[in-house]
Amino acid sequence: MNKKAQDKCDILIIGAGPAGSSAALKAAQEGAKVILIEQKKEIGVPVQCAEYIPVQLTTAVGLRDDLLVQEIHFMRTYLPNGEVKETESIGYITDRDRFDQHLAEKAEEAGAVIRKDCKAEIPLNPPLLKGEIGRLKAWEGGLSDVEVIEGGKRYFIEAKIIIGADGPRSTVGRWIGVENKEFVSAKQYIMPLKFEMDYTEVYFRDYIKGGYGWVFPKGNKANVGVGIDISFGSEPSEALDRFADELFKSGKIEKKILNSTGGLIPVGGLVGTRKDNILLCGDAAGQCNPITGAGISNAVLCGSLAGEISAKAVIDDNLDILSEYDEAVEELVAHSINHAVEKRRYLQQHWGRDTLSEALKTCWIAFEGYYGENNKHGGSEIEWELQ
């Protein structure tokens, strides 16, 4: 099979969400030649997010003021038994599409080449190609040539290191046998608010199985959504309509849908970070929080680490350096994610029972019981959790 075109780079990054763009930015800043490809025609569109970001993240990524749409001061949690808990949660609601585009623009300014409407297609296992083994070229036990489709054209990109940041159903993850298995299915409406709010709301209800409902304000509108654990076999659309009706009857929103979106959130915990010269970050690696579904902060953090360490490996011409990424992820996010997995398992056992409200007091981040007696984070960690 003849190659129709051939590009070369040090690092090929697949997926231009927060993880991929952060990886591209850091790698380019360190001096690596980076190509970042994105399957969508427009980065960040459609929005699949409640759009809250903690205040620390705004500083970490250098967000412009125009991207901070709504200031948030606290979170209000509603338990099934009627109890309400308020927790400080300083942050902002952003326009998630423009947030993603901002990160990609910064990566491009640093020297990364960005290609949209560009899909990586190649499987890792040569026998599956039925004689077309020429499409793959082994590189020191890894993969170096990736076939892509861009605007209907097929060509190859040769890279020393590949970073998969392509979401919960990661193509790159499948290449190396790493897949998320547990998901929450989320659906969200944008609806008019009857009054402005400077706080977010989270609702736990028996009919929102294995997840929660949310109201995240944006001026005179709000993101109104639900996340349903698909292992319960429930449909998020039905739960969202019921939730929206509850909010309407309480006088919180107008019963008018301005827009809708949805998507999958991996909630099974870490699934893997690396094989040979291929790294995963963000949702592709299961790096979001299994209790809250929050993923932006860890995506930015782990994406930046993947980019920095990959650039170092390229510059030093030493792939063994990539093991530092495994170690960094383990040190910085593994404990909190594994802790959340344990809490999620416990919470699943109490769903639909009259003990759900009590279980939430040890399994939801608004309560000190979530962190344990010896954990000093307290409720302040919520600032980094809900996105």
**Dist CA 210 CA 221 (whole Å):** 26
For residue 122, the model assigns a pLDDT of: 64
Question: What is the per-residue pLDDT for 372?
Answer: 81
d(CA 182, CA 171): 16
Are 278 and 142 spatial neighbours (Cβ–Cβ below 8 Å)?
Answer: yes
CA 80 to mean position of chain CA atoms:
28
Quick one: pLDDT at residue 380?
35
The amino acid that residue 276 corresponds to is D
Report the alpha-carbon distance of residue 383 to residue 373 in Å, rounded.
20
**Burial profile 54-83: b = 16 or more Cβ within 10 angstroms, e = fewer:** bbebbeebebeeebbebebeebbbbbbeee
CA-based R_g, the chain, Å: 21
pTM of the model: 0.90
Rounded to the nearest 10 degrees, the angle between the axes of helix 356-363 and helix 335-349 is 180
Domains and CATH numbers, the chain: 1-45+96-180+271-349 (3.50.50.60), 52-94+183-266+350-387 (3.30.9)
- In the chain, at which residue ranges do the beta strands (DSSP E only) sit? 6-14, 34-37, 52-54, 68-78, 84-94, 113-115, 118-120, 138-139, 142-143, 145-150, 153-164, 183-192, 199-203, 213-218, 221-229, 259-266, 274-275, 278-280
Tell the residue number behind the tokens 């970001």, with chain if given. Answer: 53
pLDDT of residue 143: 67
What does the alpha-carbon distance between residue 167 and residue 287 come to, in Å, rounded to a whole number?
Answer: 10
Return d(Cα 39, Cα 60) in angstroms, integer.
26
| C-alpha angle 78-81-84 in degrees, rounded to nearest 5 | 30
Residue ranges of the alpha helices (H) in the chain? 18-29, 55-60, 96-109, 171-175, 236-249, 296-315, 323-329, 335-349, 356-363, 382-385
Please tell me whether residue 196 adopts helix, strand or coil conformation: coil
Using an 8 Å Cβ cutoff, are 37 and 117 in contact? Answer: no
Q: Is residue 46 reached through a cis peptide bond, with omega within 30 degrees of 0 on the bond before it? A: yes
pLDDT at 233: 84
What per-residue confidence (pLDDT) applies to 145?
83
Cα–Cα dist 40/46, whole Å: 9
Residue 373's pLDDT is 60
Residues of the chain with pLDDT under 70: 1-5, 122-143, 373-387
